[in-house]
Structure 1
C-alpha cells in the first residue's frame, strides 16, 4: 500500500484510511480520529466544490471570503489555516506560492470524490503543516463512464465527467470538468459588480502491474479565475473593486512499489508547481510562483512474534521548495526569489494482539533554514467488547514559517521577519466509540498546546513568534446510521475553546455541528445536509485600532433530488442555502443566498 507520498486509494469495498498510518489502516482499528466521506455521498449531495462538504465533519471551521470560488480557509480543531496538510491523489498539495495553505477554493468535485480527514497532530507521519490534521482527496477507481451537466442561479454552469478502463495488467483513469458562476457582489456594504469564478480541472492515472511489482503515473491540473472585492488603492480600505486572481496548480508523480512475502517497498518522485497572478481592473499587480519536488523511499515489513502481528515501516524523504514573487506596481521592490529544502527520516511501528492495537511513530526533519526537529506520535485502541472501543493518542506537530512570513514585503504595510522560528504543537485525545450493527457513535475529548505561534506584530506590519502558548481544547460528538441503499444518516457536534496569549482566536466558532442524509429508492436518489456555525470573532481592519467584531451564527441547508428516467440517465435538482440565510464568514464579505440548480447525469449509479 505504498506509492510516492501516500498509498493509492483503496478499493471501494475496504474502509481503509490511507493517512492514518504510513501503510494505511482500517478505520475500525485506528487510534486516530478520522472522518470519511465516500464517493456515493459526494455524488448524492451534489456539491460542485468539495470544501463545502468539510462542514459535515467535526471541528472543521470554514472561512469563505465571499461567494463560491472565493478564498476558502479551513481550520481543523482550532489550528491555523496553514496547519492543515492536504494531499491530492497522494501528492502533497499545499501551495508554496500562497503561504503553504491548501487551496480549498480550487478543489472541484471533478477532481476527486473521496475525502478523508484525520484530526490532530500528524507530523510524526507526514511532516510540516500537519498540526491540525490531514485532508486527503482521491478519485475512486472505476471501470465505467459518467458525465454531469448542471446550470442554475448566479449563471452557474458545470460540465464534467470521468472514465476508467482496465485490461489485463493495465488500468487507466481520467476525469475532469469545467464550472463557473457570475456570482454576487461579495462586498457586504451594498450593491455593486458581481464577483464570479471559473474553474477547470483535469486528472489522470495509469497503473501497470506485473506480479508483485506495480508502476504508476498520475497527475492533476487546475486552472482558475476568481473575482473579488479588495481594498481601495488610495485609502487601503475595503471597497467594491474589480480585483481578480488567476491561479494555476499542477502536479505529476511517478512511483513504483513491490509487495510480496511480507515486504512492501516503494520509490517515488513528484513535482508540484503553482502560479498566482493578482489583477486590478485587468491590470496585473503582482504574481507569485512556487515549486515543490519530492523524492520518497519506503520499506515496510509485516511479521508476527509472540502472538503479536506487527508491521515496521521506515521512510526517507527529500523535499525542495522554490518561491518567486514579483510586482508591477512597486517597481520591483517586492520581488523575491527564495529556496529551501529538507530531508526526513520516519520510523513507524504497528502491533496488534487480540483486542489491542498500538502504534508508535518517530520522525526527524533536517531543515536547511531552521533547526532540526523531532516529532513523536503514539496511539492505542482497545476493543472492550460489545462493540465498544477505547482509543487514545498523543502526538506532535510542526509548521515551517511560510516564505511570505519570512521574506514578504509591501512598501508601507508589511516587512517579513527572517528570524521566525517554526511553530510547534503537541497534544492528545481520548475517545470512546461504539459500533453496533448499522449504528456508529463516538465521543472524543482533545487538548493541544501550540508554542511559537506566528502572529501579526503589534502594529500589523510584520510577523512575530508569540510568547507563551496557545491552547485548543474541545469535545467532538459523532453518530451515524446505515440503513442500506435507502438511507444513511450522520450527525456531528463540536465544542472548541481556542485562545492565543492575546485572547480568543479568530474565525473559530465555539459551537458547530451538522446533520446529513443520503440514499436511493427505486428511481430516486436523494441527499440533504444541514450545518451550523456558531458565533466567532474577526477583526475589522477598516477601523483603528482594528477592533474585534462578532460574526453572527448561521445555518446552511442544501438538498439534491434525482430521478432516473432511463437506465444510465438521471435528471436532478439541487438547492443551496435553502433557508436563504445571510452568511458572513469574513468581515466585509458575504456569500450567496438561496440558489437553485438543475442538471442531468449520465452513467450508472454508484
Structure 2
C-alpha cells in the first residue's frame, strides 16, 4: 500500500481513537423518505441565490440527501448518480463520465460547493474523483441550463455540496476495510458559533483493485486506485446583513490503468491488455471566496465571489512520465437580486471567466504554448412563485474572445392542477465551447487539434406531470423531453494517413426520451424507489455511443422501528449500448455493441450505542461480468465492513 494510504488510514484511526435519494424531483424522484416537515430545496435552480423549493421549480431536478448517501453507503458520488433518471454513467480506470439526457460527458456542468470543477483540457470533470463526504448532498438539474450558468451546461448541472459547520456540529468519522485490499476512511469536524460556522473534512478511498482487461488481454493485473480529499468551508456574519464565506478543496488521485494494444499484427490489437507500469497521477486545487450584502429587510441582495480551479494530470509508463497537461480557471461573479412581495424575483448577474491550458509533454512532441480563452456572461432572470402557478425566465449573453457571441434562454411554467397533481413545462438552449484538447490537440501525429471548431449548440423542451396518492404515500413523476444538438464535435480519420482530428458535424443530433420515477412507502418500515429512463439519441440516424436506450433502478429499503438498524437492496439495469472499437489496423473505429447488464447491491447497518454504528455491504452481489466501455472489464463482486462514530 502506498505511503499516502498508510498515512491516511493511520490518521483516520487516530481521529476515531482520540475523539472524546429522498432524491426529490420536480419530475418527482424520491430515493429516501424524508420527514414531511422538511421540504426539499434547490440551491442551483436560480441565480437569485435563494433556495427554491422543488415544488416551485418549473423544470426537472433531483436532490440526493445526506440520509440517502449514508444509508446507501455511497463512497463515489458517481455510483449514486446511476439511480437518477436521465443519467448514464460509464467508468474506466482514471475516468468516470456522466451523460445527461443523451448529452456528451463534457456537456454536463459540475459544481462542487459552487465551484466549477471541470478540467479546461478536456472540458469535463472526472466524477470518479468526487468522494462522498459525511453530510454531503447532491442536486441534479436536467435540461439546458446555459441561460443561468453559461458554457458546459447543455445537458444540465450536477451540484455537490459539502455540509456546513452548523448543519452537523461535532465530530463524525467512518473507517472500513474490504476485499481487494480496500481501506476507506472519512472524518469531519463541524463547529459553529452565534455568528460563524466552519467545517473541515478528510476522505481517503483506496483499493488494490481487480483486473480490467479481458482474458485475451491477460486479465490478471489488478488496477488499484488511491484518492485523497481535503476540504473546508466557513462563513461568518460580520453584521446582521453582511456575510463572508469561503470554501477550499484539494483532490489527489493516483491509480493504475491498462493501455490498448497498438501492435497491428497482434490478435489483441485494439483491445485493452495488461500493461505493467502504466499509471496516472491527478491533482486539483479549488477555492472560492465570496461576500453577500442584504438590504431592505432582505428584499435586495448583492453577492460577489471569486473562484479558482487548478488541475494537473500526468500519465506514466514503465519507462517514466509519458504525458501531462495543466489547466486552470479564474472566475469572478456578481449577482444583484430583488424580491417583490415575496413572490416576484428579479436578478441581474455578470460572470467573467478565464481558462488556460498547457501541454506538459516530456518528449516535446506537443506544443507547450499556454493557450487561454476569456468570456463575459450577462444574465437576466425573472421568477414568479405563486400559490398554484410558478413561472421562470432567464436570458444570457456570452461575449467570448475566441468564438462568436451567443445568446441562450430558458423559460418554464408549473401549475398545481389539484393539491396532488402538478403539470410543468420548460424550454431552453445551451452552448458548449470546444475544449483545449479539441482546439489544439495533444500529441502531434496521434491527435491533431482543429482551431476552426465552432461551439456546439442545443435547444430542447420538456413536459411533465407529478402526482401523489394518499394511499401508501405514493408519488410518481413522468417527464418527456426532446433536445436537438447542432455542430456536434466528433473525431474524424481522414485519408490517406487517417490521423485523428475533430470536426463539427453538419447534421443534427436528436435526443428524446421519457423519465419515470416512483416512490412508495409500502409498509410502515418499508419503502421502494424506482426509476426508469428511455432514451433515443441518434446522429444522422445512427445511435450515439455509450447511451443505453433503457436504464432502470429500484431500491428496497427497510428501517427498524426504533431506527436501530436499516438495510437497502439496490438493483440497477443498463440496457445494451453502442460503442467504438479501434480494432481495425487503419485506426478508424468500428461500431460494437455493449451487452446489457444488471447489478445487485446489498447493504445494512446496526446501531451499537448512541453515536456508534457498524455497517457492511456487498456490491455486484452475483459477480456479473460486464463492460461499460469496450474491452474494459468492470469490477466483480466486492464486500466491505466498518464502523462509524459521531460525537
Shorter-chain TM band? over 0.9
Instruction: Kindly indicate whether residue 54 of structure 2 is the aligned counterpart of residue 15 of structure 1.
Output: no
Measured in 2, the distance between the counterparts of 1:232 and 1:547 equals 16
Q: 1:252-331, aligned counterparts within 5 Å? A: 252-260=287-295, 261=297, 262-281=299-318, 283-304=320-341, 309-329=343-363, 331=364
Return the offset for 1:503. 1.3
Measured in 2, the distance between the counterparts of 1:581 and 1:547 equals 26
Equivalent residue for 1:135, pick from 137, 153, 158: 158
Equivalent residue, structure 2, for 1:538: 579
Equivalent residue, structure 2, for 1:5: none
Measured in 1, the distance between the counterparts of 2:509 and 2:41 equals 33
Measured in 2, the distance between the counterparts of 1:131 and 1:474 equals 16
SS of 1:339's partner is strand
Measured in 2, the distance between the counterparts of 1:489 and 1:256 equals 42
Q: 1:74-89, aligned counterparts within 5 Å? A: 74-89=98-113
SS of 1:585's partner is strand
Equivalent residue, structure 2, for 1:53: 80
Deviations 1:540-564 (A, max 9, x none): 1122542211101111221211111
Q: Describe the shift of the 1:207–1:409 C-alpha distance in structure 2 as closer, same or farther (beyond 3 A).
A: closer
Q: 1:190-589, aligned counterparts within 5 Å? A: 190-209=218-237, 210-232=239-261, 237=270, 238-242=272-276, 243-260=278-295, 261=297, 262-281=299-318, 283-304=320-341, 309-329=343-363, 331-436=364-469, 438-459=473-494, 461-481=500-520, 486-501=525-540, 503-521=542-560, 522=562, 523-544=564-585, 545-589=588-632
Q: Describe the shift of the 1:282–1:214 C-alpha distance in structure 2 as closer, same or farther (beyond 3 A).
A: farther
Equivalent residue, structure 1, for 2:128: 105
Equivalent residue, structure 1, for 2:91: 64
Return the offset for 1:139. 1.6
For structure 1, the residue ranges without an aligned partner over 5 or more in a row are 1-10
Equivalent residue, structure 2, for 1:4: none
Instruction: Kindly indicate whether residue 124 of structure 2 is the aligned counterpart of residue 114 of structure 1.
Output: no
| Partners of 2:515 and 2:534 within 8 A in 1 | yes
SS of 2:360's partner is strand
Measured in 2, the distance between the counterparts of 1:273 and 1:488 equals 43
Return the offset for 1:487. 4.0
| Partners of 1:466 and 1:501 within 8 A in 2 | no
Return the offset for 1:125. 0.6
Return the offset for 1:411. 3.0
Return the offset for 1:42. 0.3
Deviations 1:358-379 (A, max 9, x none): 1010000001110000001000
Q: 1:33-44, aligned counterparts within 5 Å? A: 33-44=60-71
CA RMSD of aligned residues (A): 1.9
Return the offset for 1:526. 2.1
Q: Return 237-246 or 476-485, whichever deviates more.
A: 476-485
Q: Describe the shift of the 1:234–1:137 C-alpha distance in structure 2 as closer, same or farther (beyond 3 A).
A: same
Return the offset for 1:518. 3.6
Return the offset for 1:483. 7.6
Equivalent residue, structure 2, for 1:154: 180
For structure 2, the residue ranges without an aligned partner over 5 or more in a row are 1-34
| Partners of 1:318 and 1:343 within 8 A in 2 | yes
Q: Describe the shift of the 1:336–1:285 C-alpha distance in structure 2 as closer, same or farther (beyond 3 A).
A: farther
Measured in 2, the distance between the counterparts of 1:291 and 1:484 equals 51
